[in-house]
Structure 1
Amino acid sequence: MRLSGQTAIVTGAARSIGAAIAQRFAREGAKVAIVDVANPELAEQVVAEIVQAGGEAMFVRADVSRRADVEAMVQAVAGRFGTVDILVNNAGIDPRKNWLEITEEDWDRIMGVNVRSQLLCSQAVFPYMKERGRGKIVNVSSVTFLTGQRNLLHYVSSKGAVIGFTRALAREVGEHGITVNCLMPGAVLTETELARFSEEELDASATMLAAAQCFSRRENASDLEGAFVFLASEDSDFITGQTLNVDGGWMFH
């Protein structure tokens, strides 16, 4: 198992990509902290599934855009599992809105969840990683940074900021043996998308993606698991500041 003996924090892990990462990390031997704020019941279900399969997991409810919540969360994880070796900054929101209607509150909210949270979580886990002389931070961006996307200007801007944050943080912490990389998912079919769009809209999206991607099928959260494990494992010890695009060949980057 590639993550045996490691402790991982995965934010936004109650469903979709985050849940898939957490469950795969557990199968690879990691002790996993499921962090979420909006979906506690789903988060507890992910924990139960991991434990039932023989893994170790805990749920911490935290708003990762708030420093006090983040610091308490990391302390709880370290108190339970001893330290923190891996951080996956996956938490994010993607509300759709015409760009002319985006308010200051809209902008600040999405930047808080999608970008500030990554700073706060990275700051909070840094002392544990520094003490051990190694650590893995994996941030989550989006292929929309490359494509642009109507009605998602604030979201796309936040995901571009994540890439800049990744590169700058890699410079800051490399001397301590900590790698910082970014994963850029494509058009992952999520529960939110299934609830948000009609069957006709989903079919139209599938047709468009089939023409745009090298692979004709829709991307699933499970398609990302291997890349996350790679970036969280010792296999990527000499890779840092990089962005890995996992989108089925939609955009070449």
Structure 2
Amino acid sequence: MAALYPDLEERVVIVTGGAGGIGEAVVRAFAAQKARIGVLDVDTARGQALQAELGDAALFVPCDVTDIDGLKAAIQAVRDRFGPIDVLINNAAHDERHDTLEVTEAYWDGRMAVNLKHQFFAAQAVLPDMKARGKGAIVNLGSCSWVIGQGGMAAYTASKSAVLGLTRSLARDFGEFGVRVNAIAPGWIMTERQLSLWVTPETEKSIYENQCLKRPLVPDDVARVIVFMSSDEAGAITNQHHIVDGGWN
């Protein structure tokens, strides 16, 4: 059974990209803590199904995080329903592979928008709530791809490495108001997307050769760390980059 953190009960949490993959696991983990969760995602069918399953604990708001005005409106919808935001999980991203020589300016800007830009503006939208309360937690999802020097996705790895710089800047600027900001870098997490698109017998063999832990990493492995980092048990932890990769790095 997962650990329970009583301070998270009734806390208002936003999870971007919360309808599937790691995000869905995070939403379910916060629901187990009896938090109130705003689920933001472009996948309306899955988001609505998740809200129906979780009932009054969750509010699904359709949201394309690359539309900053729409993102701000979605955050406001969660605030209108549940109250000021206590926790933000910047999870939404897209790890599309791409050939460096074929990347256009528009494609590059699109990767920055879906992987990095929205994290800043989502934080900007919730920080006044946290400042007013004198407390808050933001967890930004990065990636181990840039740490291990993975190729074939330069725009993705560039955007995800920038998450660490964003995290440390926000942590420094808002620590005096009791706001903690940390980054989580997942390794090879066996989501539906990874399994359907990227994981082959050959890549799986390579994964386990590199990981210290010789088992698949699943979304719940990341979700448990995120929930802990959002709780008062992690009250002295901020400005950090936590890697969840089974010991690859």
| Coarse TM-score class (shorter-chain normalised) | over 0.9
Residue of structure 1 equivalent to 2:54: 50
SS at match of 1:42: helix
Report the aligned-residue RMSD: 1.1
Structure 1 residue 149 displacement after superposition: 1.5
Q: Check if 1:230 corresponds to 2:228.
A: yes
Q: Check if 1:13 corresponds to 2:14.
A: no
* 1:215-241, Cα deviation, whole Å (9 max, x unpaired): 111211011122011111011111111
Structure 1 residue 65 displacement after superposition: 2.1
SS at match of 2:39: strand
Question: Is the CA contact (8 Å cut-off) linking 1:8 and 1:33 kept in structure 2?
Answer: yes
- Unmatched 5+ stretches in structure 1: none
Residue of structure 1 equivalent to 2:125: 124
* 1:14-47, Cα deviation, whole Å (9 max, x unpaired): 101000000000101110011001x110111222
Question: Is the CA contact (8 Å cut-off) linking 1:65 and 1:120 kept in structure 2?
Answer: no
SS at match of 1:184: strand
SS at match of 2:183: strand
Residue of structure 1 equivalent to 2:195: 194
TM-score by length of 2: 0.95
Structure 1 residue 209 displacement after superposition: 1.1
- Tell me which amino acid in the other structure corresponds to 1:29: K
Question: Is the CA contact (8 Å cut-off) linking 1:70 and 1:124 kept in structure 2?
Answer: no
Residue of structure 1 equivalent to 2:181: 180
Question: Is the CA contact (8 Å cut-off) linking 1:139 and 1:182 kept in structure 2?
Answer: yes
Q: Check if 1:218 corresponds to 2:216.
A: yes
Residue of structure 2 equivalent to 1:137: 138
Question: Is the CA contact (8 Å cut-off) linking 1:140 and 1:162 kept in structure 2?
Answer: yes
Q: Kindly tell me the number of residue pairs found equivalent between the two proteins.
A: 244
Residue of structure 1 equivalent to 2:108: 107
d(CA) in 2 for partners of 1:49 and 1:118?
27
Structure 1 residue 163 displacement after superposition: 0.6
* 1:66-86, Cα deviation, whole Å (9 max, x unpaired): 221122111111110011100
**Which residues in structure 2 correspond to 1:79-90 (within 5 Å)?**
79-90=80-91
SS at match of 2:84: coil
Residue of structure 1 equivalent to 2:75: 74
- Unmatched 5+ stretches in structure 2: none
Structure 1 residue 63 displacement after superposition: 1.7
